[in-house]
Every structure is written in structure tokens, then in C-alpha cells.
Amino acid sequence: MALRPTWQGHLRLSLVTCPVALYTATNAAGDVHFHLLNPKTKNRIKMITTDPDTGPVERSSLVKGFEVEKGEYILVTDEEIKSVKLESTKTIDIERFVPADEIDRIYWDHPYFLAPDGKLAQEAFGVIREAMRRSGQIALGRVVLSTRERIMALEPRDQGILAYSLRTADEVRSAKDLFGAISDDDPDASMIAIAEKIIEQKEGPFDPSQFKDRYEEALKALIADKQKGHKAVAAPPPSETNVIDLMAALKASIARKDGAGSSGKAAKAGGETGTKAKTKDADHKAAPRRRKAT
């Protein structure tokens, strides 16, 4: 089944322009969706728009309102909304190039694939893509999607371009509101050393196929069992994780031999205590906020 583009238009770098199509790069989360049914008739329930004072009303007669205070609304007509609607420019105009590490990961939103729209567009598209690849930077442009103007971050991916919509500053909450109350005292160095060795034991390559939505899988299994007439079996309760003694928990973790989540690079855990553990070089190089696409 051919993918349908989310948006079609042009990609422009200064005077170089080519037709392109934008496709969503992800599938909707979760295949299992439920409907509300009347248990007596098995009929699907219809949601009826209702006024709490007068009862059911026709949806076509409803108007939009913005609540300025509790119970007080400013009514806005569809014509008024259309008057400020942004028209799609049909062009992603590259405005700026920035290093990838300058864009905090909290701003990255939805991923898309950007591809040339037709064979005649491939040459110009390839020129723009390879120039971007050699620059080693992220291209920023704007596009209107679903009446909203979005900032798009573009970077080469294989023979195409990976495009991410970026959140605006107004959409991102301040971390200080939550993190400001967290103590900035240095944790115990010996505990950190043990925790670092636990991390070493669990190091390995990123393989997304190893990560499954276990709840989704359990729902599918439940539905399959019920189709066969079997009764649902309750999932076992989660194990107790309350930490009484942090140092004891760290030592017990590093002594585990089950290898769960590790790449096989197990650190030597035998006998090394928290008091003998050596801390690593404090001048670690900070990890980049976002790995560039290859």
C-alpha cells in the first residue's frame, strides 16, 4: 500500500527549488482500540451533544467559545477563525543552519520523511541533501501543517531527508519549576562508583526491535484468549521496589548475574566494596543532546 503524503510542496535553498512530499515517519501508537457498548444489546453507544439545562442539541447549531473566566466565554465564528488562518505557503524555505547539539531534545516533536516528489525533482533534491550532509548541520525552515505554522528541522537520512517539527518556546515548560527544589549536594562518591559499574554492565547497542509495548501485547493476548472462550488470567503483581538501604541495594545490583539488559560487557563485580571502589575521571565529556542521523 502506497504511503499518502501529509503535505506536498517545494523545498527551497536560496534559488534552488524542487518539488517534495512530506510523509509521517511513525505509525499511530497501539493497534488495540475499544468502543463503548451497551452490555445488554452489544450496540455501540453514540455520544449525543447535550445542554445541561435544555437537553440534546444539534451539533450543527453549536458555536465555538474561548473561556476567559470560569463560565464566561468569548464566542468566535468559523468566519472569524478563517480570517486569521495561515494559508499554506507550499514551500519549506530553509532559513538557517545550526549545529545539531544546539537544539535541546525537548524541542524535537514529530518525525517525518521528506522525499522528492517525482523523478524530475531528484537532481535538485540530491544537491540540497548532499550540501546539507557536508555542512554537518541542521537546516531550519517553516511549513504550515493543519493550519499551524511549524518550524521544521531537516537533516539527511540515507537518500532522503529526515524532518522533525520543533516545539516553540511557549510549548515547553520550565524545568526549574520542578528541578529547582532538588538538592544540589554531591551524592556519596562510592555509591556513584558502584552505580557507574552497574551502567557498564548494561551497556549495549540500541536495538528498537528489543523494545515491545508489553501492555499492547498483553491486550492482544487477552482478546485472542477470549475469542477462544478462555477466561482472562490476572497478571502477577509487580515486585516490591522500596529501597531501605541504598548502598545495600547498589551492591546487590552489581552482584547480580542475570545479565538482564546488558551487552555482555559485565564489569568485574567480585568483592569490590563501596569503600574500595575507585571513582572515574570527573572530567567526563558530556554526551551530546541528540545523536545525528546517519
pLDDT at residue 259 tops 70: no
pLDDT at residue 242 tops 70: no
Residue 27, pLDDT score: 83
Question: What does the chain come to in residues?
Answer: 294
β-pair type (16-24, 7-13): antiparallel
- Residue 201's nearest CA partner among 269, 291, 117 is 269
Instruction: Please name each of the domains of the chain with its CATH number.
Output: 7-29+85-170 (2.40.290.10), 187-204+245-279 (no CATH)
- Provide the percentage of residues in the chain whose pLDDT is more than 70: 80
Taking the whole predicted model, whether its pTM rises above 0.75 is answered as no
Side chain identity at residue 163, one-letter code: A
**What residues contact 43, with CB distance under 8 A and at least 6 apart?**
37
Please indicate whether residue 123 or residue 144 has the higher confidence score (pLDDT). 123
How sure is the predictor about 240, in pLDDT bands with cuts at 50, 70 and 90? low
pLDDT at residue 86 tops 90: no
How sure is the predictor about 159, in pLDDT bands with cuts at 50, 70 and 90? very high
> What is the Cα–Cα distance from 124 to 13, expressed in whole angstroms?
10
Q: What is the mean pLDDT of residues 97-108?
A: 94
Q: 61-71 pLDDT, tens per residue? A: 899 999 999 98
Q: 204-238 pLDDT, tens per residue? A: 888 878 777 777 777 788 888 888 887 766 666 66
Highest mean pLDDT pick, 145-149, 161-165, 188-192, 237-241: 161-165
Residue 50, pLDDT score: 93
Q: 267-285 pLDDT, tens per residue? A: 333 334 333 334 444 344 3
Residue 46 three-state SS = coil
For all residues of the chain together, what is the average pLDDT?
A: 81
pLDDT at residue 130 tops 70: yes
How sure is the predictor about 11, in pLDDT bands with cuts at 50, 70 and 90? very high
Residue 241, pLDDT score: 59
Residue 94, pLDDT score: 93
Residue 135, pLDDT score: 92
pLDDT at residue 47 tops 50: yes
Phi first, then psi: what are they for 257, rounded to 5°? -115, 10
pLDDT at residue 34 tops 90: no
Range 202-208, long-range pairs (CB < 8 A, 24+ positions): 202/261, 202/262, 202/263, 203/262, 203/263, 203/265, 204/261, 204/262, 204/263, 204/264, 204/265, 205/263
Residue 79, pLDDT score: 85
